[in-house]
Amino acid sequence: MQIKNANPPIRVTGRHVSVTEAMKEYCRRKVATLHLDYPKIIEVQVILDVQKYRHQAEVILHCSNHITIEARAECNDMYASIDQVVDRVARQMRKCKTRLMKNHRPKKLRQLENRIVRWDWIDAAAEFADNGETPVEEEAVREIVHREKHPVKPMSPDEAVLQMELSPKQFLVFLNSQTDKVNVLYRRKKGDFGLIEPAFS
């Protein structure tokens, strides 16, 4: 049987630490154990960071179907952190495959879609205000002190929900494949998701 995830390119980089060849080889051997048939891994990033006594390992899997799986682990030993983060990524992959198999059923897709609370830009600003957050209108007049670039990938809202459940991020900017418009999916305090859709008057 052919393993779909065999030999994906693996990049190992370090922050505040010099990554030795032994560490790189250990990361490659651990990642090679991720032999699930789904999702197909296209590229792997391993980021190692040391701050005082904290040794952190982060793994980012870039997979097919616009799926990105991320996990972090922190111990007082780098090799233990690598072990933990690879175990967490493996669990995320199994979770992703299980959800995908369930979501192939139309009823399940509708249930997933129902977890999204839809808002336009104005309604979303009002919800932020109700939650004690700064409304969008006030935020716009303040000085911009930080900028980030987020790749906008085409996907359906249910695919965006799946992506959010596989990531610790609080929001996801994506191109809605059903409307060809840029949407923002974000986590709500109640545990479900909010979908910000552009509305033009």
**pLDDT value of position 1:** 33
Q: Which residue has the higher pLDDT, 102 or 123?
A: 102
Task: For Cα atoms 116, 146, 44, give the angle at the middle one, nearest 5 degrees.
Answer: 65
**pLDDT value of position 6:** 55
All structural domains of the chain, each given as residue ranges with its CATH number in brackets, are: 10-103 (3.30.160.100), 106-197 (3.30.505.50)
pLDDT tens-digit readout, 159-170: 888 888 777 778
pTM: 0.55
**pLDDT value of position 177:** 87
Poorest-pLDDT segment among 95-109, 117-131, 176-190: 117-131
Average pLDDT score over the chain:
76
pLDDT tens-digit readout, 137-153: 444 455 676 677 777 88
pLDDT at residue 3 greater than cutoff 80: no
Give the mean model confidence (pLDDT) for residues 175-200.
Answer: 85
Contact 163, 66 (CB under 8 A): yes
**pLDDT value of position 81:** 93
Give the mean model confidence (pLDDT) for residues 8-16.
Answer: 88
Q: Give strand ranges (E) for 53-199.
A: 54-63, 68-75, 116-120, 153-155, 171-176, 181-187, 193-197
Q: Which residue has the higher pLDDT, 88 or 137?
A: 88
pLDDT at residue 36 greater than cutoff 70: no
**pLDDT value of position 143:** 66
Contact 157, 80 (CB under 8 A): no
Tell how many helices (H) and how many strands (E) occur in the chain. 6, 9
